[in-house]
Structure 1
Amino acid sequence: MNSYKVYIHPKDLQTLNKDIWSDDVVPGILKHDAKKLLIDITYRGDSIRKYKKKSYQITFKKPYVVNRNHVIHLNSEYKDPSLIRNKLSLDFFRSLGVITPRAQHALLYLNGQFKGIYLELESFDEFFLKKWNLPEGAIFYATDNDANFSLLTEEEEAKTEILQGYSEVFDTNGKGEQLLSDLIYKINTLSNLEFEREIPKMIDIEKYLKWLSGVVCTQNFDGFIHNYALYWNSGTGLFEISPWDCDGTWGRNRHGELLPYDYIPIEGYNTLSARILYNSTFRSLYKKIMEDILKNKFTEYQQKPLIYAEIEKIKPWIDKDPYMVKKMPVFLSESQFILDFVRNRRLYLLRELVHLS
């Protein structure tokens, strides 16, 4: 497991803590693999910032790129008593053929104090594209619940900007905003016949349906309208979708509370999913994809060794993590809890396949 030793001058740490909601960075030093790296660091995430175990974004300054990354994220996974749901989810999406950032657990020390077990995530940016030999293009993050592929906000009020809810991360040729604007507008205005003909020219339908299957199986409540990235692939001329921050999954929500296995329907929700699944051809493709996943991927047999492998990796450090000591009894029962969720969720989805006929 990677070990990161971060040092921040006390004055800069005081600045960082003065406004935990600010994205302004402070300078620091990262020691890793006997190397001393100059970095910028800030808190990241939304509600997690108000908890004691915070998440961090680290930007490399000198050297500018480390292991082909310019930015990495260290997620505290504070509300997940297993610490593995995010990792399990991202690995699951990748197994479905969805473009997905890599994740691995790491140990974090801040100014010599052990801060616990974290999940290190790749940043989905231009460096990610280069690292994995993907074509350049444009990348957008869904930064809040208005990233719902609709012309209306979450409160069902008219949006003042069509890209409300999205944040541009990278754009090779400056066409990304216009391409995404056109996509969202057409999703909401095309007739059903026009939708079937035009939308596959703008978004990779099969990859979207694989992503939708992943969100539905893991029951990622936030994932439909938040916590995803859109990547316009210049090689295909199509948008693809990628998951992000999947800690509220596998039977719990993002607050760590129990979520009934049948909480989210097999169709999921958001405007794009609704329009795609209204079409019989696309719905049949979704059913075929889901049937294959429920047979070969989302099963107790397939997931059990993955769950236990992740638990065993971090188990030696749980009683040393200052934020996990009191959660040890729950942690030890989480493997079976997640397996029970897989069994119940899978049976529920198998019954619900009839609605896709």
Structure 2
Amino acid sequence: MRQFLFLVFSIVSAGLHLATAQTAGQQLWSQAVVHDVYLQFHQLSYLDTLSTNYTADVYTVCDLTIDGQVLSNSGAKYKGNSSYNNPGPKKSFKLDLNEFVSGQEYDGIKKFNLNNGFKDPSFLREKLMLDFLVSHDIAAPRCSYARVFVNGTYWGLYTLVEEVNNDFCDRWFGSSSGNRFKGDPSGDLRWYGSSPNLYYNRYELDNNETANDWSDLIRLIDKINNSGTAFHDSLAAMLDTWPYFRHWAADNLFANLDSYIGSGHNYFIYHESVSDQFEWIHWDVNEAFGNFQQQLSLAQIKTLSWDYISNATGRPLCQRVLGDPGYRSDYIQALCLVSEDFSNTYFDPIIDSIVPIIRPFVYADSMKTFSNQQFEDNVVADISITSPMGTQWIAGIKSFIQDRGSNIRSQLSSLGCIVGVDHSTAGNSKPQLFPNPANSTTFIRWEQPLANPIRVEMLDLSGKMIRISQVQVGVSEYVLSLDDLPAGVYLLRLGSEGTAPTCLPLMITR
């Protein structure tokens, strides 16, 4: 049985690797290059047409060229809110290659976004956070860079960001048929009543528009707000909670406050049809690293509390999670885990590899908001700018990572979190799992009491993290409750400092 289980995991891992290797968008998002994107409009007053069509939310036809490949009769439209209203012609775009030519695509991709980074002197915020999320298995769009030309004129350096659509959901969750809601313009998840029309102006149904069935979203909001003492189990039945806690942890860590924990929007939730649970998806992180400050000082941003919510009663999901001891502990563990790589040791080599690549295109961008010197300075240090509202400080990327990382590690230490510990079992005896197969309970046993703390991660066959817990020094037996998990094969990954992780397969029977 043990050999069979290891074979199962080996086959699944190989299959996942193969699927990743064949993923659409590899050329757009898996190469350390700045892409060339040309938009050619044939309307006489194409900028006026784009502005008019922005209000109407319709695409304007254009000829699109990506790295030399021509895609005629593609669709382009302005996008964004504050990024659109910033002065100057450098607006953000949404491109749909399939809007006017059915089936047209590039590198397997039919739709993507070009974001103007108008509030980011460093041109790094969106790229760094999205790459971090994706590399840490937190559902988010992929991101690269493009130098964009409009009717032959260099329009500037943009981030080229993946669209959250059916293809995205298929890649992350293995399905796309369920409802996908965007938490815009004000997706606070508060209860306003059972009628769908009470939510139409707060959320967007991003697919399945013909059916227009909002009942699943309303059930989720009902459970969040009205489940009383049954909140824990009610939420677990409808929301994939562990991934959500990691999303929340990332927003806190990066001080990404133009999100649910701050402004109350900029996310998607997808109703995955197999698990019948909602999955959280990150969106629009261009003001990460403390650039959306909500009237907080930069010092307050860098020392943001681990449980920060801008408006507790207005963010019932966070409020109720923090009021539930089990979920509160899970969120702390998620923040502990996600924060391990939030360090200059992790980020500085990445930053130092990106900046030389984008520098010439930043310098050549005459439509950018900030100067070349502000770009250089903000990569490493806080800068001040003068606006009609007075002096404003913008966090430097490297300095923010240093200051925020140090502060959050101090906060987490007081909560019993072990930050910066590798997944390994050094100093501890070899663990055993009994019984296995198991039904409702299994035990992890060590011959000797633990000399070092152990992190226990449980993953399903898709590689999705199911739960995480920590076992403290001195423990020799740890109980795992399995009642809430369906029958199947799982992987337990045990880690402490010093050696490679120990992986134990577990079969749950019913």
After the TM superposition, which of the residue ranges 216-225 and 89-98 deviates more from structure 2?
89-98
Structure 2 contact 303–404 (Cα < 8 Å) conserved: no
Shift of the alpha carbon at 1:262?
A: 3.8
Matches within 5 A, 1:60-99: 60-61=97-98, 62=101, 63-99=103-139
1:139 aligns with 2:180: yes
Write the distance in 1 (CA, Å) between the matches of 2:364 and 2:97.
28
Q: Which AA in structure 1 matches 2:377? A: S
Write the distance in 2 (CA, Å) between the matches of 1:162 and 1:17.
28
Shift of the alpha carbon at 1:220?
A: 1.0
Q: Which AA in structure 2 matches 1:331? A: F
- Correspondence for 1:318: 362
Shift of the alpha carbon at 1:326?
A: 5.3
Structure 1 contact 73–120 (Cα < 8 Å) conserved: yes
- Correspondence for 2:277: 238
- Correspondence for 2:59: 25
- Correspondence for 2:252: 216
Structure 1 contact 252–258 (Cα < 8 Å) conserved: no
Q: Which AA in structure 2 matches 1:171? A: N
Write the distance in 1 (CA, Å) between the matches of 2:203 and 2:369.
38
Q: 1:309 to 1:201 in 2, by over 3 A?
A: same
Q: 1:16 to 1:245 in 2, by over 3 A?
A: same
Match of 1:275 among 320, 323, 331: 320
Stretches (4+) displaced over 4 A: 172-176, 354-357
Structure 1 contact 247–254 (Cα < 8 Å) conserved: no
Write the distance in 2 (CA, Å) between the matches of 1:254 and 1:118.
23
- Correspondence for 2:336: 291
**Secondary structure of 1:119 counterpart:** strand
Q: Which AA in structure 2 matches 1:330? A: Q
- Correspondence for 2:474: none
Q: Which AA in structure 1 matches 2:69? A: K
Q: 1:325 to 1:207 in 2, by over 3 A?
A: closer
Write the distance in 1 (CA, Å) between the matches of 2:54 and 2:206.
22
Q: Which AA in structure 1 matches 2:126? A: N
Shift of the alpha carbon at 1:132?
A: 5.3
Q: Which AA in structure 2 matches 1:10? A: Q
Shift of the alpha carbon at 1:190?
A: 1.0
Deviations 1:162-207, CA, capped at 9 Å, x for gaps = 454210112399586211110011211111x300111101001100
**Secondary structure of 2:58 counterpart:** coil
| TM-score, scaled relative to structure 1 | 0.89
Between the aligned residues of both structures, percent identity stands at 23
Deviations 1:53-81, CA, capped at 9 Å, x for gaps = 10001111335332222211110111111
Structure 2 contact 139–172 (Cα < 8 Å) conserved: no
Write the distance in 2 (CA, Å) between the matches of 1:7 and 1:175.
36
Q: 1:18 to 1:82 in 2, by over 3 A?
A: same
1:39 aligns with 2:74: yes
Deviations 1:221-280, CA, capped at 9 Å, x for gaps = 11111111111111221111111111111132289x974334643113221011112111
Match of 1:188 among 202, 205, 225: 225
After the TM superposition, which of the residue ranges 129-138 and 307-316 deviates more from structure 2?
129-138
Shift of the alpha carbon at 1:131?
A: 4.9
Write the distance in 2 (CA, Å) between the matches of 1:303 and 1:173.
44
Q: 1:195 to 1:182 in 2, by over 3 A?
A: same
- Structure 2 unmatched ranges of 5 or more: 1-33, 310-314, 381-395, 417-510
Write the distance in 1 (CA, Å) between the matches of 2:219 and 2:201.
14
Write the distance in 2 (CA, Å) between the matches of 1:19 and 1:354.
52
Matches within 5 A, 1:78-157: 78-131=118-171, 134-136=174-176, 137-144=178-185, 146-151=186-191
1:207 aligns with 2:243: yes
Write the distance in 1 (CA, Å) between the matches of 2:116 and 2:208.
29
**Secondary structure of 1:329 counterpart:** helix
- Correspondence for 1:346: 405
After the TM superposition, which of the residue ranges 309-318 and 35-44 deviates more from structure 2?
309-318
Q: 1:253 to 1:310 in 2, by over 3 A?
A: farther
Q: CA RMSD in A?
A: 2.7
Structure 2 contact 205–212 (Cα < 8 Å) conserved: no
**Secondary structure of 1:229 counterpart:** strand
Structure 1 contact 221–249 (Cα < 8 Å) conserved: yes
Write the distance in 1 (CA, Å) between the matches of 2:52 and 2:141.
31
Matches within 5 A, 1:155-174: 161-162=198-199, 164-171=201-208, 174=211
Shift of the alpha carbon at 1:36?
A: 2.0
Instruction: Return the structure number with greater relative CO, CA threshold 8 A, min gap 6.
Output: 1
Write the distance in 1 (CA, Å) between the matches of 2:163 and 2:109.
8
**Secondary structure of 1:353 counterpart:** helix
Write the distance in 1 (CA, Å) between the matches of 2:322 and 2:172.
31
**Secondary structure of 1:171 counterpart:** coil
**Secondary structure of 2:97 counterpart:** strand
Structure 1 contact 79–254 (Cα < 8 Å) conserved: no
- Correspondence for 1:156: none
Q: 1:32 to 1:355 in 2, by over 3 A?
A: same
| TM-score, scaled relative to structure 2 | 0.64
Structure 1 contact 138–171 (Cα < 8 Å) conserved: yes
Q: Which AA in structure 2 matches 1:178? A: S
Q: Flag the structure with higher helix content.
A: 1
